Amino acid sequence: MDREQASSQWAVRLENVHKVYGAASTTTTALDGVSVGFAPGSFTAVMGPSGSGKSTFLHCAAGLDRPTSGKVLLGGRDLAELDETQLTKLRREQVGFVFQAFNLMPALTVEQNVMLPLKLAGRKPDRHRIREVIERVGLGERIRHRPSQLSGGQQQRVAIARALAVRPTVLFADEPTGALDTTTAAEVLTLLRESVATDGQTIVMVTHDPVAASYADTVVFLADGRFVDQLHTPTPDAVAERMTRLVSRARDSRRDVSLREAV
């Protein structure tokens, strides 16, 4: 396979990624040899018990953090080969990020918030495209509003518009519906789903909610820094059942450790 084919097969790919925090006696292995690829136009949910490495995984995959070892290829580029300036540029041009806490700029209007990443990337925002993206998320009437004048769900839709405006290679989301009520969460998830169906957007979303995960094509399960399971065309019930199994397995292995330590 030539280089071009290799780069187009995955929107983002991780190869044997380890991430170790701390030094000497106090190290935590957050990622323990993760190898996974996400195809262009796929929508994947990442689930796992608390502390299993979900956020660390997302940050490494998005170039927000560097792995201790292993490779991350985003849009075919090996992130380890980029210096900080190049990495910042790549993040601005190819990565969209949606956080649980929205992270909008309070002093800026909806339109200005959505334009900000493009401006930071030194691109001249296409007003027509910005307008179109804002209308797509249903906020055409709110273009001059500031975040404080919007509900939580509306603010998250601004954050999604901001992420989509750059046409990122991958949109990463860390618990995007974690701060929203059920109805509003469903609106936000439908919006993400539509961007996959309409634009072939690639999405990787961390969530602890089986209903949110069921909007994805595939759910992958992390435990102790490793991918241990996956589920295609997930239903909320199937996801919940796998999660219960995973959490009780994690509890059992912790009990084994404490038993070993006791003898």
Binding site for ligand ADP (CB under 6 A): 21-22, 28, 30, 48, 50-56
- 55 or 184: CB nearest ligand ADP: 55
| Residue nearer to ligand ADP on the CB measure, 177 or 195 | 177
Residue 53 CB, nearest approach to Mg ion (Å): 8
CB of 152 vs ligand ADP, minimal distance in Å: 21
Closest to Mg ion by CB, 49 or 234:
49
3-state secondary structure of 87: helix
CB 52, min distance to Mg ion, A: 9
Alpha helices in 121-200 (DSSP H): 127-136, 152-165, 182-199
Q: Are strands 95-99 and 12-21 parallel, antiparallel or unpaired?
A: unpaired
CB of 47 to ligand ADP, least distance (A): 9
DSSP states of 232-256: ES--HHHHHHHHHHHHHHHHHHHHH
Mention every residue, 6+ apart, whose C-beta is less than 8 A from residue 111. Answer: 130, 131, 134, 143, 144
Which single residue brings its beta carbon nearest to Mg ion?
55
Strand partners, 220: 46, 230
Distance of CA 35 to the CA centre of its chain: 16
Between 111 and 175, CB nearer to ligand ADP: 175
Which option in Mg ion, ligand ADP, none does residue 181 bind, with CB closer than 5 to 8 A by kind? none
